[in-house]
Structure 1
Amino acid sequence: MSAPTSMVQSVEWAVIAPPVIAAAGALAVLAADLFLPEARKRLLGPAAAATLALALLALLPLRAGDRTTFCAPGGPDLCSYAADRFALTVQLLVLGGAFLTALLSLPGERERRGHEGEFWFLLLSSASGAALLPAARDLATLVLALEVTTLPAYALVALRRGPGERGPEAALTFFLSSITATAVSLLGIGFVYAGAGTLYLDEIAARLPGEAAPELATVVRAGVVLTLVGFVFKAAAVPFHFWVPDTYAGAPLPVAGYLSVVGKAAGLAGLILVAVRAFPGYGGLWGPAVAVLAGLTMTVGNAAALRTDPEAPGSAIRLLAWSSVGQAGYLLVPVAAAAYEDTPGDAVGAALAYGLMYAAVNLGAFAVAAHVARRSPAHRVADYRGLYARRPLAALALAFFLLCLAGLPPGVIGLFAKVAVFATAVEAGLAPLAVAMAVNVALALVYYLRWTALLFRGPEPAQAPAPADDDTAGETPRATPAADVPEHPSEPLPERLPTPLTGAIALSAALGLALSAAPQLVLTLASGAIW
């Protein structure tokens, strides 16, 4: 009788250090919040930011090559965690995005109204899940990481409370739609397991579709489609995008920025792992579906952004929300192209290159929005008129971020990233999708340039109220006399820009400028296999 196979799995702590550091920091913040006096709880924010910085530094020893852990006996395909090039790139994106979010959140102590410890605990918990997700190599770990990323986000959205605030309502919308998508994905995973007999991604790719029983073929195909639903939802692709505008508008502004970058990156990474790595044999099934979703997502997002009323309350955040939906469409283009490539590494690399560019500049735009909101809490696009006269550096930074998102100089990295994504569609033979992307890039120029131009316009002249006298009821209101207009309308804002907010804007701008000056730093991802 042969000896039983050992099921003990070795653990390399250095390999799993990034998500573990974030999770340990979350627990430490929660414990400290219980014992620290109220006056010292302001230290929790810097401690959380330092934790995320330490998690980023933990990536450095892993950059040399592929390393795995939590491996079952039987070979390298039975590992649950892998620190390969794909995982490290996405971990850099999500942990960097969480760090910038922490900087944006440091000045918001008053808004949280005594929920300081809860906020930082939830942010670090979500970041730990987002760091775990791209390294997951089995469906159980993947879904667990996705939920650890998402569950704290519901509470983060709901922390914005008070008269007229819609945080709890936005959180409920986000929660109900998200758990529905997750339930559908779990049903799909059950179908896939019935056909493949395993949850490991590489084992699924090896066994499906060839080794699945013929009577299970339809069940497996349904499982492939259903499994992808949850990840498409997290990536905010149409028609699973309906939660985005209301959630972003109702959430605290740094949380909206976090969801637009880290939440989207987690969904995209999960979609790539499931579709490209686990289901390569079903590319003919999910490839056309993702291509259609990409075209619809970019079109709906850009069309809604064009229709945004700049005078409406919250229009700035809604415009950024619809912009993020449109950008999600561009991110899905390389995923669709990967279905038609024998070696999908280049297409996946293009998606990661675009994601890194988008993360840096989009969080920078949210940082400037957080600054403007301190003076104009209505969050209207019209509030940005004449920002250059009041805060020239903030206006120049926002203009640069918007031009990067539009793909125009001096935002060179935005242009190069769009070209890399466009090339994947052309090389895969997806001509209609390439045309749709070109049209949508042109459409997006309208609202990006319109917002950019607004930053450099002079303030509108004040208007006197219409006279109540019947004799003048039909006259056109006259401009307020010069004596009634403030003598120095363009003087600096009265409040001092907080140092963490300044740091977030400066760091995002520095990253965008560095990548624009040397785009090969990111585009090397698009020129080689990711796995």
Structure 2
Amino acid sequence: MSVVQSVDNVALLPAYLAAGTAVLVLLVDLILARPAATVAAAVTGALATAAGAAVVGSGPQRRTFCVGADCSFVFGGRAALVAAVVALLTLGVLALAGPLLRAGDTPVGEFCFLLACSMTGGVVLGAAGDLITLIVAVETLTLPLYVLVGLRRGSLAGAEAAVTFFVVSVVATTVTLLGAALLYAATGALHLGRVGATLAERPDLLDLPLTTVAVALVVAGLAFKVAAVPFHAWAPATYDGAPLPVAAYLSTASKLGGVVALLAVVQQALPAAVTGPVLALLAVLTMTVGNLVALRQRRTVRLLAWSSVAQAGYILAPLGVLALADAEARAGAYAAAVAYAVFFVLLELAAFAGVVALRPAGADGGRLDDLRGAARRHPWIGGALAFALVGLAGLPPGLAGLFAKVTVVRSLLVGELGLLAVVVALNAVLGLAYYLRVAALLYARPTVTVGEQTAGRPVGAVAAALGVATTLAVLVGFAPQLVLDLAGG
């Protein structure tokens, strides 16, 4: 008997726009060979992708590539939120890359093409409904980043970071694929919902060593993408060796993709009784190790990298509810994790934009002492960077970060995990030490004269990206329930 799949081209519109952006950038760079036109094509495509995701996501949930009730592509509120955020992050990174591309050390066409390809993976990832689509989307998001990290000509640090990222990520992908294959062998299904239903209908499968190993490998492989402890060691070295705009993308869009992939398999496919305690332990280790090591950092990007590891712990914390709470509390936990990830990536992008604006064109993040007194020389840029850091710490006026942490703690209290909520609160206090230290350093009196400072003059595109990222962080801070509603969809 032949099997007929339904195809809904409207549901696929955001993916078409993202993939079309990559093709358009390639053609414009090949035919016109003008950097400005290539960047304009990438910007236009990213804007169209964000708009398409918003339009399609504003209607009812759409499904395509379906066989019966099982669909490989499901585009609803959460998928639209992820697609729009990834497209906006791509726009932000294009703006941050302005000084780097103008310096001539990085080929413009290749940079924009690879970034558009990665954006395509992020757009598809949010709507993935089966293990194959999910893993392919994760790799489409990640694969271009191997090249982007080391794309800057003559940079030994970039080459070392690219090799580190490539080796670790390939191992993580292999582990994930092996886990998916074993999960298919145990359940006979690939669609996430079908895998979950099979494990629920046949509890005896959970007693098989094959199923246990499959679940462990899938969780471990995706934990690499999130940079959760103990699978985090690649992140600080890779972020510090990559160009600043690429590090910003790794810390935001790439991390968001890893979180979405992990949430998809945990929510729909893997048994909650097994994954809940494991993810709770991972969350505690990740936030604690990330915060403790961040306290010792003296380089700016390494501090942001370790703080990003700690933030991954906060994102994973609500998933500890899975094994203990009812269905409504579990749904709230998933929404809290996605919402926190959205709040975090906007503030993280603003933080990286501030660092790029205050550093010379094409330079690395430098040391924290290089930012001393920066807000005195550039009040608006320094103030926006301080706002992003305060938001990441979860303090007002950074309402996005404040509501993010409140959302996580509330989901834990609803799920009767008060002890884990206390650990989150204690780690949030620990994080204040380094976030506020850097914010205070921005306003400290410089130890050298202004003429001797190494900070560069903010570039218009970078300043605009910083302003847009900060504005978006403020807006979502005033509309946390809207983000939660979309995240729950």
Picking from 241, 247, 254, the partner of 2:245 is: 254
2:54 is matched with 60
Amino acid aligned to 1:370: V
Picking from 19, 23, 30, the partner of 2:19 is: 23
Three-state SS of the structure 2 residue aligned to 1:68 is: strand
2:125 is matched with 133
What 5-or-longer segments of structure 2 have no aligned partner?
none
1:285 is matched with 274
Q: Is the deviation greater in 495-504 or in 387-396?
A: 495-504
Distance 2:244 2:220 in 1: 27
Percent pairwise identity: 41
Q: 1:184-223 to 2 correspondence within 5 Å?
A: 184-211=175-202, 217-223=208-214
Q: 1:490 to 1:409 in 2, by over 3 A?
A: farther
Q: Is the deviation greater in 236-245 or in 97-106?
A: 97-106
Where in structure 1 do 4 or more consecutive aligned residues deviate above 4 Å?
A: 212-216, 375-378, 490-496, 523-526
Which string of whole-angstrom CA distances, capped at 9 and with x for unpartnered residues, describes residues 135-169 of structure 1?
01000111111111111110010112325x41111
Three-state SS of the structure 1 residue aligned to 2:65 is: strand
Three-state SS of the structure 2 residue aligned to 1:135 is: coil
1:85 is matched with 77
Please say if 1:369 is aligned against 2:358.
no
Three-state SS of the structure 1 residue aligned to 2:73 is: strand
Please say if 1:115 is aligned against 2:107.
yes
What 5-or-longer segments of structure 1 have no aligned partner?
310-314, 463-485
1:346 is matched with 332
Amino acid aligned to 1:16: L
Amino acid aligned to 2:50: L
- Contact kept, 8 Å, 1:192 with 1:224, in 2: the verdict is yes
Please say if 1:498 is aligned against 2:459.
yes
Which string of whole-angstrom CA distances, capped at 9 and with x for unpartnered residues, describes residues 443-463 of structure 1?
100001111111111111x5x
2:312 is matched with 328
Three-state SS of the structure 2 residue aligned to 1:373 is: coil
Which string of whole-angstrom CA distances, capped at 9 and with x for unpartnered residues, describes residues 201-227 of structure 1?
111111114337759822112111111
Q: What is the CA distance between 1:237 and its match in structure 2?
A: 0.3
Q: 1:118-517 to 2 correspondence within 5 Å?
A: 118-162=110-154, 165-211=156-202, 217-279=208-270, 282-309=271-298, 315-343=299-327, 344-374=330-360, 377=364, 379-460=366-447, 462=448, 489=450, 496-517=457-478
TM-score norm. by structure 2 comes to 0.94
How many residues align structurally?
485
Distance 2:435 2:455 in 1: 28
Q: 1:24 to 1:285 in 2, by over 3 A?
A: same
Bigger proportion of residues as helix: 2
Amino acid aligned to 1:371: A
Distance 1:517 1:215 in 2: 43
Distance 1:436 1:455 in 2: 29
Distance 1:275 1:80 in 2: 16
Q: 1:256 to 1:59 in 2, by over 3 A?
A: same
Q: 1:338 to 1:98 in 2, by over 3 A?
A: farther
Q: Is the deviation greater in 222-231 or in 320-329?
A: 222-231
Alignment root-mean-square deviation, CA? 2.1
Q: What is the CA distance between 1:96 and its match in structure 2?
A: 1.8
- Contact kept, 8 Å, 1:69 with 1:81, in 2: the verdict is yes
- Contact kept, 8 Å, 2:370 with 2:455, in 1: the verdict is no
Which string of whole-angstrom CA distances, capped at 9 and with x for unpartnered residues, describes residues 272-309 of structure 1?
11011112xx2121111110100000011111110112
Distance 1:351 1:429 in 2: 17
Q: Is the deviation greater in 290-299 or in 350-359?
A: 350-359
TM-score norm. by structure 1 comes to 0.87
